[in-house]
Chains A and B, each alone.
Chain A
Amino acid sequence: MAVSEQDVRQVAALARLGLADDRVQALVGELNGILEHMDVLQQVDIGGASLDPDAAHGIRMRDDVPNPIALLRAREDFAPSMRDGFFLVPRLSTHGTAESADDEDEG
């Protein structure tokens, strides 16, 4: 199951990572070098080994109540800017054309 250049580009797109062409080439070699060591797993007799989550201690469910995490500082302390209780974030240049963007509310 050798990794190809196309695989690296596709996986990078899925992971939202921009890669320079020379880096793509290098990563083909690096990923294949790592994955060849994983092939040993194909030879293992997994018998009845199940994929169930470890049930030894179980996962404790939290009470279905609002988030108990109290912030130590007010949101205003660390937000870049706020208005009417909402965070204001920089406008993305791709949110419509310049003309249509003028019609949108700020943030």
Chain B
Amino acid sequence: MNDSSLLARSAADVASDIAAGRLPRDAALEASLATMASEHAGPGGLNAVLWSDAAGAHADIAALLLNPMQLLAGIPVAIKDNIATRTMPTTCGSKILEGYVSPFEATVIARLRAAGAVMPIKTNMDEFAMGSSTENSAYGVTRHPLDHTRVPGGSSGGSAAVVAAGVTRIALGSETGGSVRQPAAFCGIVGVKPTYGRVSRHGLVAFASSLDQVGVFGTTVDDAALGLQVIAGVDPLDSTTVDVPVADYRAARSVADDQPLAGVVVGRPVEYYPESLDPRMRTLLARSADHLRALGAEVRDVSLPHTSLAIPVYYIVAPAEASSNLARFDGVRYGLRVEGDGLRGMYEATRSQGFGPEVTRRILLGTYVLSAGYYDAYYKRAMAVRRLIADDFTKVFASGVHVLLTPTTPSTAFVAGSRSDPYEMYMSDIFTATANLAGVPAMSQPIGRLDGLPVGGQLLAAHFDESTMFRVAYALERALGREAHT
């Protein structure tokens, strides 16, 4: 059976029908696979899917013991290629891990499986999650679903593209500096980065361990909230997860009254609305703020004074940690091995041929800022400034502000190949990297379009207050209605 209309219904509704036997258990999977095989979403179109395992997904569906408690019964979920799965490769978009199949699966995969989900595809990404456009994959560039000359954003561009193209309603990505929110904004879908410590990273290939988080894409706020609901929570296999109870992120999905945001204070940090911001983007954000006021929220201007330092800090801290984390890819333990002159020659040949240019650049940058003579000037100072950036958030949330409203990105999806200067590309993360540095939760949702391309509005909240963030996101999504996509 292939009923593509299923893809127009929320994941929660379809899962509920499958769990109750009102829909065949493979209905959603068949609809996804049919869409994936289409000319638009397939390999010749988006190049968003790296690996697929339809047979395994069918077998999982057949073996599913359905019960009404399964929030994702029969729902296909796309997985970024840096999250360990056992039946498909986990290559991180890199040649150095070509053909590598993990002997264990990530905790988030096990949790999706326990909730009844199936994982038929792994998605393309910037190599080792280093990039903002999904142009850095060893397996080719992923294209934007609305305009194939443009990028879908990155690094989780494959996951964003498959959700935007209607292949799945939910996908997992990973965030280090905005790699879920930025592609979500570019593709006109919802992307959530949870609080640092909210979701297990056991089985997520490490990039920068003090920043990395697994994130969730959804077609709508409810799809994303549902995905996070399933994967959130403490994990004995990841000591950086925190034992804070997981709230009901979907509590605000139905309308309670016409003032659902009464008592909520929304801050607009002035540093995220610079003079250089496209005035049309500013207008779209003002429209969203007007909606929030009409829903009962108080909107006030606030300041996060160290915002402009986020990119310099991020591009010291993240490469420093990456240079250490990626040392393990040496030709001995994983994937590619290229013989060279002696042991050292083998390491150097393997790593030079296995890593692409951006990963090489960041490993060198990270090694440089950690090396004797430069550690104090770069790494140590960046860590101190990182604390100032985090303190900005602490102060603004302590002042009574519940969520912040900002643009997610400084531009809409750009043309592939148009950003050759590395630092210009890094600036794509200017509004998103702060949340990773501070560890706070943040999400992007569509708030309108410019020249036919989606614009994302970003909401940020205090540590572990995803509930309030979702409460505002649900209300804004309802208020915007079709405006969010026009």
Interface on chain B toward A: helix, strand, loop, or mixed SS?
A: helix
Verify B365–A31 contact, CB threshold 8 A. Answer: yes
A62 at the B interface (CB under 8 A): yes
A15 x B103 contact (CB < 8 A): no
Among A37, A54, A72, A77, point to the contact of B439 (Cβ < 8 A). Answer: A54
Tell me, in angstroms, the Cα distance from A33 to B344 when the chains sit together.
Answer: 30
**Binary A-proximity of B32-50 (CB < 8 A = 1, otherwise 0):** 0000000000000000000
Digitize A53-91: 1 where CB-to-B-CB distance is under 8 Å, 0 elsewhere. Answer: 010110111100000111111010110000000000110
Given contacts A17-B364, A94-B342, whether A33 and B422 have CB atoms under 8 Å apart is yes
List residues of chain B with CB within 8 A of the CB of A68. Answer: 236-237
List residues of chain A with CB within 8 A of the CB of B244.
Answer: 57
Please name all residues of chain A whose beta carbon is closer than 8 Å to the beta carbon of B332 when the two chains form the complex: 89
Name the B residues within 8 Å of A98 (CB-CB). none
Q: Roughly how many angstroms separate A49 CA and B422 CA in the complex, as a whole number?
A: 29
Q: Is the CB of A16 within 8 A of B330?
A: yes
Chain B, range 201-257, C-beta contacts under 8 Å to A: 202, 236-237, 239-244
Cα(A19)–Cα(B343), bound, Å: 16
Give the shortest distance, in Å, between B338 (CB) and chain A (any CB): 9
Taking a contact as CB atoms under 8 Å apart, the answer to whether B351 and A17 are in contact is yes
Q: Are A19 and B352 in contact (CB under 8 A)?
A: yes
The answer on a CB contact under 8 Å between A18 and B352 is yes
Q: A14-B367, A17-B348, A33-B422 are in contact. Are A57 and B242 (CB under 8 A)?
A: yes
Q: A101 in the interface, Cβ–Cβ < 8 Å?
A: no
Mark contacts of A18-43 with chain B using CB atoms, 8 A cut-off: 1 yes-contact digit, 0 otherwise.
11000000010011011101101110
B63 in contact (CB, < 8 A): no
Partner of A15, one of B306, B367, B383: B367
CA distance A103 to B403 in the complex (A): 68
Which residue on B lies nearest to A39, using beta carbons?
Answer: B312
> What residues of B have a CB within 8 angstroms of the CB of A42 in the complex?
377, 381
A51 CA to B387 CA, complexed, in Å: 8
Interface 1/0s, chain B 259-277, versus A by CB < 8 A? 0000000000000000000
Whether B344 contacts A16 by the Cβ 8 Å rule is: yes
Contacts of A69 in B (CB 8 A): 104, 202, 237
A11 to B365, alpha carbons, bound, how many Å? 8
Given contacts A30-B361, A31-B361, contact A62 B348 (CB under 8 A): no
Inter-chain CA distance A73–B377, complex, in Å, is 46
B352 contacts which of A17, A31, A54, A56 (Cβ < 8 Å)? A17
Judge whether B312 and A60 touch: CB under 8 Å. no
**Closest Cβ–Cβ distance, residue B324 to chain A (whole Å):** 10
CB distance A60 to B381 under 8 Å? no
CA–CA, A3 and B369, complex, Å? 11
Q: Are A1 and B374 in contact (CB under 8 A)?
A: yes
The smallest beta-carbon distance between B144 and chain A, in angstroms, is 26
Q: A-contacting residues of B (Cβ < 8 Å)?
A: 86, 101, 103-105, 197, 202, 236-237, 239-244, 306, 308-309, 311-313, 315-316, 323, 327, 330, 332, 337, 339-349, 351-352, 355, 360-361, 363-365, 367-368, 371, 374, 377-378, 380-385, 387-388, 390-391, 421-423, 426, 439, 463
Interface CB pairs A-B, < 8 A, 9? A15-B364, A17-B352, A18-B351, A51-B384, A59-B239, A60-B240, A73-B103, A78-B103, A93-B342
